[in-house]
Structure 1
Amino acid sequence: MQRFHEIIKQIASQQQEYDIQVPEHWGQGRATFGGLIGGILYRAMRFHVDQDRRIRSLNISFVGPVSPGPMQVIVNVLRNGGSVTHVEARAVQNDQVQCMALASFGSDRESSIEVPAKRAPEARIPVEEAKELPYIKGVTPEFVQQIRMRWIDGGFPFSGSQSNIIDGYMQFRDQAEQLDDQAFDETALITLIDGWPPIQLSKMKKPSPASSLTWALEFIQPIENLTKDSWLRYQVDIDHSHNGYGQNHAQIWSESGELLAISRQTVTVFG
């Protein structure tokens, strides 16, 4: 079973095109886990941007399911301006675009506007006492072997929950093996964030498919102080769900309560 750092190391330098081997054991229904594909596309784009320009936003469209096996990643720098760089990346299989990403990287600017981000709300229970979603072969997605999610509030998938939120903690399983000795970076953060199931699944009483259609991430704080052992806090709320489509928004905080990212997803629901 390939670990996260082994997969990501397939992208180790700046290239226009990358040949990637998408592994098994990272499945999500009939597709490969979208968080992993998003992390791969981000890492490929990162090599094309000056290091002093941090990722500010990332927008992903899941065009079709990515299958295990060969995948081509194509990167195109759309504009490299005075302080902002816009980059596009595509994941291609069998000459078909299966996923597209558009990222904006920007260097810091001087500004008179300073509004601090809201800190994480106090958790009702500590991480040690939170219930963890187990990996059950044939029941939970394959990628749950790789990511640990523990619930503070809200329901597990298909529990018929009446709650409109999920609140919890997340971390890679077997962190030392997953991340090797590398520092925790945005590639890992992107992959972790998408691990949580759409909250619509928690409201269902029996298994039914759902998938992300689009995914928008906004990055707030630098994450230099995170380590592979860090537990991150995740809280998601439903904005709207109707006619088979739902809109959810989430916030992600560090262990010390700093807001790291805001995640917004449109999901398709088939039940």
Structure 2
Amino acid sequence: MTTTTDTEIRIDPLWRSWEGAHGGHVAALALAAVRDRFTGGAHPVRTLTTHYLAPVGDGPLHFSGAAPAGPGRRTATCVFTGHQNGVPVISGSALFGSGRQGPSYDGSPVPGVPEPQDCRRLELPGELSPFARQLEIRPATADLPLAGGDRAELTAWIRFLDGRALDAPAAVTLTDVLPPALYARWRSARPVPTAELTVHLTDALDDGPHEGWALVRIRTGHAGSGWAVDDSAVWSADGRLLALARQSRVVRPQPAAGSVNS
């Protein structure tokens, strides 16, 4: 037996990216739309996968989904689709699961970097990342966007300027807020939209949200044939791993001069 539902949400126009709405924001909205509908908030989210079928505009986004129903289940899986104007623009799935006793291991320790107050604030170009105006970003290493560096990796302290807590949707958003890691090697920008994003949330969120700064790292594992694979991690200010993510990106050709906003 399955349960189905449909809900409508609005895309915040402030979370606009180069091609439509910011992918991490859209994924976080998808999670919020289906979480309570299918689990009643009984189970924390463990994995969220989002496929981006088309750029998401500012209009209403209608989510429909289905999930197995049954008493006493320790896990629940939901599949969902988001439509705008009757056209599917995203699809995906979410896995929820209750906690239990078990072994622990941390294979992604927090990097040793300066504290946020010891890092300078970064202002991303508004025409490239309009959504970045909702964030305070302080690079924590010498790697900077469009600096022509040797490695495709960026690490920064980030916090939401609206003061929102670091819950699961916020962690999902943060996995995608830094520029594509290839930007650390390039000196000029080009669109690198996300085609698929999978986020794994950790038990650090089981007891509730965290507050303040998060440390976010993104690195490119491979790029070629117009595609790139980025891995990102999000830690709380006290060094707890909140999320790990991997995304497939499309590397667009360099736009002609003066066509950034076209």
- TM-score bracket for this pair, using the shorter chain length: 0.7 to 0.9
The alignment of Structure 1 onto Structure 2 pairs a total of residues equal to 248
2:177 match: 195
Displacement of 1:225 in angstroms is 5.4
Q: 1:107 aligns with which of 75, 87, 98?
A: 98
- DSSP 3-state at the match of 1:143: helix
Deviations 1:152-200 (A, max 9, x none): 125433222222321111110242xxx3xxx542112212221111101
1:24 match: 13
Q: Are positions 1:235 and 2:226 aligned together?
A: no
Deviates more, 1:235-244 or 1:45-54: 45-54
Displacement of 1:209 in angstroms is 1.1
Displacement of 1:126 in angstroms is 1.9
2:157 match: 169
In structure 2, what is the Cα distance between the partners aligned to 1:226 and 1:42?
Answer: 15
Q: 2:67 aligns with which of 69, 77, 80?
A: 77
Deviations 1:69-111 (A, max 9, x none): 2221112214657211001222111211111121110112344
Is residue 44–residue 75 contact of structure 1 (8 Å, CA) maintained in 2? Answer: no
In structure 2, what is the Cα distance between the partners aligned to 1:137 and 1:122?
Answer: 30
Distance 1:73 1:187, change over 3 A: same
In structure 1, what is the Cα distance between the partners aligned to 2:73 and 2:209?
Answer: 29
Identity of aligned residues (%): 20
In structure 2, what is the Cα distance between the partners aligned to 1:185 and 1:74?
Answer: 23
In structure 1, what is the Cα distance between the partners aligned to 2:86 and 2:168?
Answer: 28
Distance 1:21 1:50, change over 3 A: closer
Q: Are positions 1:58 and 2:48 aligned together?
A: yes
2:86 match: 95
Is residue 62–residue 214 contact of structure 1 (8 Å, CA) maintained in 2? Answer: yes
Q: Runs (4+) of structure 1 moved beyond 6 Å? A: none
The one-letter code sitting in structure 2 at the alignment partner of 1:119 is P
- DSSP 3-state at the match of 1:210: coil
Deviations 1:86-141 (A, max 9, x none): 01222111211111121110112344x44345431211x22113233315443x31
Q: TM-score, normalised by structure 2?
A: 0.86
Displacement of 1:237 in angstroms is 2.2
Q: 2:122 aligns with which of 110, 126, 133?
A: 133
2:31 match: 42
Deviates more, 1:210-219 or 1:71-80: 71-80
1:255 match: 237
1:269 match: 251
Q: 2:168 aligns with which of 162, 177, 186?
A: 186
Structure 1 unmatched ranges of 5 or more: 1-13
Distance 1:79 1:225, change over 3 A: closer
1:6 match: none
Distance 1:79 1:262, change over 3 A: farther
Distance 1:226 1:86, change over 3 A: closer
Superposed CA RMSD in Å reads: 2.2
The one-letter code sitting in structure 2 at the alignment partner of 1:103 is A
Is residue 147–residue 170 contact of structure 1 (8 Å, CA) maintained in 2? Answer: yes
Structure 2 unmatched ranges of 5 or more: 254-262
1:7 match: none
